[in-house]
Structures are given as structure tokens and as C-alpha cells.
Amino acid sequence: MAHDSRTPVKYLRVYSMADIVEQFRAALVTVGIEFALGERIIPDGTLHRVRLTQDKPGQRSGWYRLHLDAPPAGAAGDWRTGYRVNWCAKRRQTLSTAELRVLLQRFETDRRRARAEQEAQYREAAKRGAWIWKHAKAAAPSHDYLRRKELEPGIARQRGDALVLPVLDFSGYLRGVQYIRPDGQKRFLSGMKKAGAFIPVAAKPDGKRQLWIAEGWATACTLQALRPLVCVIAGLDAGNLANVTAEARHRWPALEIVVCPDFDSVGRQKGQEAAEKACAKILPPPAEIPPGCTDWNDVMAARRQGAAHA
């Protein structure tokens, strides 16, 4: 069964190679690592990348390594979150001293190899992102997404019909890019390190101005227009708010930070968690939210339309 260093392990009895593979797959599902339909498990002891059920088309954020030699064991994880688990087919109390030593050495070797593979993947994504950003053209003000969101191009560039936005860390290193299609469909460059990264609206954070952290870029642009004296960035999505806020707090312990989540239940929950963990403030939603509005960009657009029809 899958486990990490914090939890005890229950092991399943081993029968055949097929049994080991299915036990491994079932154990991973119990801890939230579920391979997409059609993904095979190859028990050859080497690292394999796979699609997870929550991956979008083209994404392969999962990985695993499964050994059949005694004691049969493996590891797997999600590169997006950094989460990883170890698994062994035998009960711990039934392992001999030699088997336990082999198992622990194997887990440590697999951990180092997975980390090296992940870092190489991040570097390659950053390299591709830098090339894409360099060769992208200035975004057209008439781009459908910009028109619909009533935004100026700002820092956005364009490649084909997709907007291209830079994804940075707080040192200014470009980790990759985000694409936004005319219909609003969003996609991050595959292999990019997302945790703790953000998209700037204008000036990069420097710790001298109050920092506001929204979810998406359109919302961040809207808040920046409303509060020009603060620095607003987009934390990419609700799930990354805590990572970005924690990185900012670590970098600037005394800085006033405001988390600005969307209005849906997930955004509010993740925003509250991010604010509490980093001792930051949270921007409450407006007193009245027009129907169909889920963020500040929606609200301001609805208000403008209301004023125009008044």
C-alpha cells in the first residue's frame, strides 16, 4: 500500500506480476494518485511519466517507478504538487534485515532520481518558455479575450491567436508561460514548475509596496486599475494562492500582503487558508455580487454595463 514517511504502512500479500501491478495501482488510488484511463504500469524499475485523471490534454504530471525484484516495491508522485508516496508489497514485519536495507536504499535512490528528473523537467520548461516569450509578438488590443474582459494588453504578448503571459518566481526567473485562447481557455506550458509562481500585472514585486495576490490575470489587472498604488500579481489559481503567499511572506516578513480570492467556495476556502498560514489579510467580496459574477473583473464589467444601461 502507498505511504509516506509520516504514516505507518500496511502491506499486501504478493502473488504474480499482475497482482503486484494491480496492488500498486490500487494503493496509489487510495492516496489520490490515479492514473488516467489507458495508462499502463510497466514494472521494470525505471522512471515513467503518465497522465493522471485530472490532467488536461497533453499533460503528463504523474510519474512512477515499480521494481519486481525482492522485495517488490515502487514509488509514484505528482510533479505539479511535489507529492510522492512509497509502496512495498510485503508487510514490514515480514522483511528480513537485508530486505529492509535494500528497500530503504531503493526508496532513497528513487527519491533522488525523481527529484533530478523533476528539476531537469523544470529547466527544460523554463528554456522553452524563455524562447516562446522572446519570440511572441505584442498582443493585439482587439484580441477577443481582452475585449470581453475589457482589458488593455499590458504585459501580454501573443502567439498565433493565443495570449502569452510570463510565469515568474519572486527572484524574477521565468519558469514558463500561460496561454489564453480567445474563448478564455487557459493552459500552462507543460513541465513548468507552478508552485509559488505568479504572473505580474505591471511592475514586479519588490517588497516596497503592499502586495495583493489574486487568482487569475484578468482579475489581477482589474484590481491593479482599482488600486494603482499597490502591487498586484496573479497567483495562477486558487490552489496556488497558499504557495505564492508563503513565498512572499518568506521573502518579506514585514510586508502587508492581501489575498484576493475569487468569490466561489473553492476560492474563498483556499484564500482563507493562504491568508491564515502567511499572516496576511484577505480581500472580502463586494457587498452585492451581480448574478453570474465570480471575481472582481466580472463585477466591474457588470457595473459598467449597468451604468451604460441606466
- 186 close to 223: Cβ distance less than 8 angstroms: no
Query: What DSSP element (H or E) covers 270?
Result: helix 265-277
Across residues 270-293, what is the average pLDDT? 94
- 24 close to 66: Cβ distance less than 8 angstroms: yes
Q: How far, CA to CA in Å, does 264 sit from each of 5, 21, 285? A: 34, 40, 10
Given the C-alpha cell 536504499, which residue does it identify? 105
Q: How far, CA to CA in Å, does 77 sit from each of 60, 74, 89, 218? A: 11, 11, 18, 32
- 80 close to 125: Cβ distance less than 8 angstroms: no
The single-letter DSSP state of residue 292 is: T
- 238 close to 215: Cβ distance less than 8 angstroms: yes
pLDDT tens-digit readout, 67-115? 888 788 888 888 777 788 888 877 777 777 887 888 788 888 877 887 8
Which region among 6-10, 114-118, 168-172, 225-229 has the lowest average model confidence (pLDDT)?
Answer: 6-10
Q: 4 or 43, which is more confident?
A: 43
- Cα separation, 245 vs 278, in Å, equals 6
pLDDT tens-digit readout, 175-219? 999 999 999 999 999 889 999 999 999 888 999 999 999 999 999
- 126 close to 167: Cβ distance less than 8 angstroms: no
pLDDT tens-digit readout, 216-266? 999 999 999 999 999 999 999 998 999 999 999 999 999 999 999 999 999
- Cα separation, 99 vs 72, in Å, equals 10
Pairs from 133-142 (Cβ < 8 Å, separation ≥ 24): 133/157, 133/164, 133/166, 133/174, 133/177, 135/159, 136/164, 139/163, 139/164
Q: Partners of 213 in the beta sheet?
A: 233, 259
42-75 b/e (C-beta count within 10 Å ≥ 16 → b): ebeeeebebbbeebeeebbbbbbbbbbeebbbbb
Query: What's residue 294's pLDDT?
Result: 92
274-295 b/e (C-beta count within 10 Å ≥ 16 → b): bbeebebeebebeeeeeeebbb
The ranges assigned to domains in the chain are 2-95, 138-309
Under 8 Å CB-to-CB from 290, ≥6 apart: which residues? 298, 299, 302, 303, 306
Average pLDDT, the chain: 88
Q: Partners of 167 in the beta sheet?
A: 176
- Cα separation, 190 vs 192, in Å, equals 6
